[in-house]
Amino acid sequence: MTDRTAADLRRQIERTRHRLGSTVEELAARADVRGRTKARAADLMDRAGAMTVQLRSTASQAGYHVQERAGRAGHAVQERAGRAGHAVQERAGHAGHAAQGRGVRAKHAVQDAATRVGRTGRRQALHVRDDLRNNAARASRTAERSAPAPVQAPVRFALRHPRPVVIVGAAAVALVAAGVMGRRRAKEQ
């Protein structure tokens, strides 16, 4: 009976050692919180970096678009003001440059906002998009309002339909260039 008891004790000791080893392995896996936290943080940093690049690109493109539209609006105002007279042309030129300046400032504001958005996530990206739309609408309204009364209707038309204004502007530039060249040739002869 003594041998049996010793054999039973050995088996019991072996089982206890095996269970203790499993428990230690489970505790070690659970205790590796630092490693799991580092892996999760690295994953989140990668996602934030990718989102930052994407948002900067989107904001930059939107800024260029706003600047382009503001520039077109300014040139349209200048063209129509030339027909109304020299004083009206001067005021419209200032309005166009102011609108273009606002477009540039809006572009920079959008780029700065995109940098901040990269740190704060998608929710801020939606706010930037709304701000961009508001800035573009505000620049357009300002260009319409700052134009003199006789030119407001043509300015509204030019803002809504920029293609004819660009074509007329190009033709006007060609005529002015031809006139200047003709005068130079006449003076030389």
For residues 91-114, one letter each, b for 16 or more C-beta atoms within 10 angstroms of the residue's C-beta and e for the rest, the string is: bbbebbebbbebbeebbebbeebb
Neighbours of 53 (CB within 10 A): 12
CA distances from 40 to 29, 36, 44, 57, 70 (A): 16, 6, 6, 26, 44
Tell me, what's the pLDDT at 6? 85
pLDDT band of 107, cuts 50, 70, 90: confident
What are the tens digits of pLDDT across the range 123-154?
766 777 788 778 767 776 776 677 787 877 87
Percent of the chain scoring above 70 in pLDDT: 83
For residues 142-155, one letter each, b for 16 or more C-beta atoms within 10 angstroms of the residue's C-beta and e for the rest, the string is: bbbebbbeebbebb
Tell me, what's the pLDDT at 60? 87
For residues 157-179, one letter each, b for 16 or more C-beta atoms within 10 angstroms of the residue's C-beta and e for the rest, the string is: ebbeebeebeeebeeeeeeeeee
Distance (Å, whole) CA 171 – CA 182: 16
Domain ranges of the chain: 32-188
pLDDT band of 81, cuts 50, 70, 90: low
pLDDT band of 172, cuts 50, 70, 90: very high
